[in-house]
Amino acid sequence: MLRKIFAITVCAGMFPVLGATAAPSKKTECHADSPMIACVDGGAVQGAKQGSTLAFKGIPYAQAPVGALRWKPPITDVHWDGVRDGSQYGAMCPQVVDGKVEGSEDCLFINVWRPEQKPKRLLPVMIWLTGGGNHQYSGAGSPGFGGVVYNGEKLVPEGVVVVTYNLRLNALGFLAHPALDAERPEKISGNYGSLDQVAMLKWVHRNITAFGGDPDRVFLFGSSAGGGNICALITSPKTRGLIDGAAMESPVPTGCEIPTLQDVENDTGKNLVHALGCDTAGDVAACLRGKSAAEVVGAIPGKFTVLPRTYGPNLDGVLFKEQPIKAIAEKRAPAIPVIVGNTAGETVAWADTAGKVTDQASYESAIDRVFGQKSRDKILAVYPASNYATPRAAFAQVTTDAEFTCQTHRVAMAFAKAQKQPVFRYFFNHVMENDPALKAVGAAHTAEHPFLFNWQGKYKPDERDLMVQRFMVGYWARMAKNGNPNGGDAPAWQAVSPKNDGFLEISTHPQMKLSATNGHCDFWDTIPFVWPHV
């Protein structure tokens, strides 16, 4: 396959003042000049030094989805005059931060980190898809879990190019309703955030050589909603040839399954339109677009919970034609190297979101609410509250095993049975000891995040933390580069196979373990999955 010739480029002519704004316009001619400036689809962008990297931030990959473009597929025809300043993040997409809606709808920006010195050969590309339930933490210019700043400073020195980006979130990114169906020739709605992700991937494929990245080696890694989005994206017909490997960390929704268009229209869609007072309007779509972003986002904010998530991809028959897990199992998804896993105590922080669990009665009630009364007695027999420190601890273990540990096992085995490309499963079980609050929570949901990025919050990592970080950065970067995480002095990580469903326990001393040692996964295979309504 012919590849693009690598060149750092600038636009012809004298450079205007940095800070040019993006708008649809005629594309300007570009040619090579300064190593600090790259030329992409939209024009020239100047990078800035960040640690040992050169960072290019706030690059528009689509037009602002405002006004008539709200709840429409992204328009990628976007250009600017002059040289765009790439030293600052673009605005984050509207989301609830500390109880207030913050951000701007003009938020579809992408960020790239490459080595400070121009690479002599094209490097693998690692794209981070952050979590946040598809309603918060869009990944670029957003606050991030626990103060983590998602950038390429730690990974780029391993010989990769790193990308982060924003996508539309919450109701602005995933609202589905018949009034919006009527506007599309396909008669579908929702998935606007997912369409942003497809646009981002296509932007990377067209432009990443300008930063020394290889468009034929694109590795997605993401957590929580980001992990679940990866599972959907790799099975979509719209992303063929754009993804070459993936790491799904604590992926949500569970088991690479997503609700149908009808599910979300009849649930969150119906409820949100009612909450905004648009259900009785003569033109529902116009009424919705007449609301401010703050009104739309604040009407039904997403929550972090053991119950089903409010926002995310839906099975619309076009972007997502079938359940991702079915496409994987029946070999209709591309075969790519995969990492999949989760943390040891995923739901510790959310254990009261199905009702405060304080005793046997509230424990049983919480199980009823999440899993249904028909499964309650079976679950109680395997997870008696008396086996745990508290009923709340028992419920946290039940939901961690059911919604994460055994779902990542299920997904890993589906890949392993369907493809020859390697599949690696992990179980993150390291506790940050240097902070009493973090130590008490343990290896909770997203606990692995700072181990792939720089420590930039108040937490001061100790030698054990730094050792785990060295292992994780090495494993993930080698997976992106070679399709195999093994190498260096890291403990061996064996691939999953139909006859070997073991996993790597990631801690100060990573080691392989048998699947039978965690999760009661054989038991959870007998509990039917039901997609409850929000």
pTM of the model: 0.92
Residues of the chain with pLDDT under 70: 1-33, 138-147, 253, 303-309, 516, 529-534
Domain holding 484, by residue range, is: 348-524
Q: Are strands 37-40 and 30-32 parallel, antiparallel or unpaired?
A: unpaired
SS (H, E, C) 331-368: CCCCCCCEEEEEECECCHHHCCCCCCCCCHHHHHHHHH
Return the pLDDT at 530. 55
Same domain, 294 and 358: no
Q: Where are the beta strands (DSSP E) in 346-441?
A: 423-428
Same domain, 290 and 354: no
Q: Which of 158, 249, 346, 448 is catalytic?
A: 346
Residue with tokens 């998602």: 150
Same domain, 274 and 407: no
Return the pLDDT at 2. 34
Q: Are strands 503-506 and 423-428 parallel, antiparallel or unpaired?
A: parallel
Same domain, 358 and 287: no
Using omega within 30 degrees of 0 as the cis cutoff, is the peptide bond preceding 253 cis?
yes
Same domain, 244 and 392: no
409 belongs to the catalytic site: no
Let me know if residue 391 belongs to a domain.
yes
Q: Which of 138, 142, 189, 224 is catalytic?
A: 224
Same domain, 361 and 280: no
CATH number at residue 212: 3.40.50.1820
SS (H, E, C) 64-107: CCCHHHCCCCCCCCCECCCEEECCCCCCCCCEEECCEEECCCCC
Same domain, 271 and 377: no
Q: Which of 177, 205, 430, 445 is catalytic?
A: 445
Return the pLDDT at 10. 32
Let me know if residue 66 belongs to a domain.
no
- Tokens of residue 87, six digits: 């030293």
Which of these three, 299, 314, 331, is where a domain ends? 299
For 274, residues 6+ apart whose C-beta sits below 8 A from its C-beta are: none
Return the pLDDT at 531. 46
Which of these three, 273, 299, 325, is where a domain ends? 299
Let me know if residue 286 belongs to a domain.
yes
Let me know if residue 101 belongs to a domain.
no
Return the pLDDT at 35. 82
Same domain, 280 and 392: no
224 belongs to the catalytic site: yes
Let me know if residue 197 belongs to a domain.
yes
Return the pLDDT at 139. 54
Return the pLDDT at 3. 34
Same domain, 216 and 357: no
Let me know if residue 128 belongs to a domain.
yes
Let me know if residue 3 belongs to a domain.
no
Same domain, 259 and 170: yes
Return the pLDDT at 147. 65
Return the pLDDT at 252. 79
> Domain total for the chain?
2
Let me know if residue 424 belongs to a domain.
yes
Return the pLDDT at 283. 97
Residue with tokens 């801690």: 507
Report how far residue 184's alpha carbon sits from residue 12's, in angstroms, rounded to the nearest whole number.
40
445 belongs to the catalytic site: yes
Which of these three, 299, 317, 340, is where a domain ends? 299
Same domain, 257 and 380: no
Same domain, 91 and 224: yes
Scored b (16 or more CB within 10 A) or e, 403-417 reads bbbbbbbbbbbbbbe
